[in-house]
Homo-oligomer: A and B are copies of this chain.
């Protein structure tokens, strides 16, 4: 689950030509790839901004154009995800098709966040092995969970989601399936993650909908 700040990039795109936008996205991508690789190889705390800029082959000033600190780099990743879920949460009461809303959201989040399999491996590797990052990851997972659960409860109320399993459990199961998809995809080279997600959600929804 990693990560370009396309929201920012998109805002720029309004004012700027495509080339500069792409250049900025590429640099940010290079910083994140280098940083996550160093975090997982040498440890998050042990990695310095100097090492990141060296590995990414950019100047220190360039790094600070994107992130004020090393910590800000990780925090920004989690915050981006948090903001997306906050928007989804706001849309729950007006949602008429819960399956369509969650499917569209999953693809949107993947388009925004997930780039190379290697970065997915690094990101989950870091969340699983670094206690501090793991805690932040778990906090974002729980925030995302509460939003997904709210959407599924809404689905139960409007008769689209089965009610014999609590929404809290259905929401956790949906997260399990999505994370498992990303992680197994992280071991591939260039397969279509959106196809993987589509078929996973097709099976999940047949299992989670009202009979």
On A, residues with C-beta under 8 Å from B are 40-41, 43, 121-122, 124-126, 128-129, 134, 137-138, 141, 165, 169-170, 172-173, 175-181, 183-184, 186-187, 196, 199-200, 202-208
CB distance from A188 to the nearest CB of B (A): 9
Instruction: Count identical subunits in the complex.
Output: 2
- Write the chain B residue with the least CB distance to A36: B129
Residues of chain B within 8 A of A125, CB atoms compared: 125, 128-129
Checking B126, B178, B208 against A180 with a beta-carbon cut-off of 8 angstroms, the contacting residue is B178
**Bound Cα distance from A129 to B41, whole angstroms:** 7
CB<8 Å pairs between A and B, sample of 23? A41-B43, A121-B128, A121-B134, A122-B128, A124-B124, A124-B183, A125-B125, A126-B129, A129-B129, A138-B187, A165-B202, A170-B203, A173-B177, A173-B199, A176-B180, A176-B181, A176-B196, A177-B180, A178-B180, A179-B184, A180-B180, A180-B183, A203-B207
